[in-house]
Amino acid sequence: MSHYLIKTEPEEYSFDDLLIEKKVIWDGVRNYQARNNLKLMKLGDLVLVYHSGKTKEIVGIAKVIKEHYQDPKDKTNIWVVVELAPVRKLTKTVTLEQIKKEKLLSNLPLLKQSRLSVMPITKQEYEVIMSFHK
């Protein structure tokens, strides 16, 4: 199993929206590196959901329930989507400030490529992030 982090503006689509809807087609990705990361996602992979914008925090965990396929809204056949379902909302969010202070997360793509919306993270990075919320 692999781990990922996706970013979303909570005003546009929040983790609470995902909890209500039970699943979502993760579309709208229009960056080649982010698209390539979507293509790497496999059924059952865990995905941390990060609210960008004002809050800047990891708020929940989702899982891949359908691997990448052609974005139905894309007429160019360049972009792909995956489908996600919620696993659980974090009882205690993990803030960007906490992440920045943790030496073991210094190579996290969230810090290195702050504009990237879909990024792989290592199992160790995932476990460190989860340790904040315990």
What is the domain-level CATH number for residue 40? Answer: 3.10.590.10
Whole domain around residue 7: which residue ranges? Answer: 3-132
Cβ-in-10-Å burial (0-12, 13-18, 19+) of 63 comes to middle
- Return all residues near 105 (Cβ < 8 A) that are at least 6 apart: 99, 111, 125, 128, 129
Each residue's pLDDT tens digit, 36-59: 999 999 999 999 999 998 999 999
- Residue 62: the pLDDT is 98
Q: Considering its fold, how many domains does the chain have in total?
A: 1
Tens digits of per-residue pLDDT, 12-40?
Answer: 999 999 999 999 999 999 999 999 999 99
pLDDT in the model for residue 134: 65
C-beta of residue 94 within 8 angstroms of C-beta of residue 57: yes
pLDDT tens-digit map of 69-124: 999 999 999 999 999 999 999 999 999 999 999 999 999 999 999 899 999 999 99
Q: The pTM is what?
A: 0.96
Per-residue model confidence (pLDDT) at position 53: 87
**Which residues are CB-neighbours of 21 under 8 A, at least 6 positions away?**
none
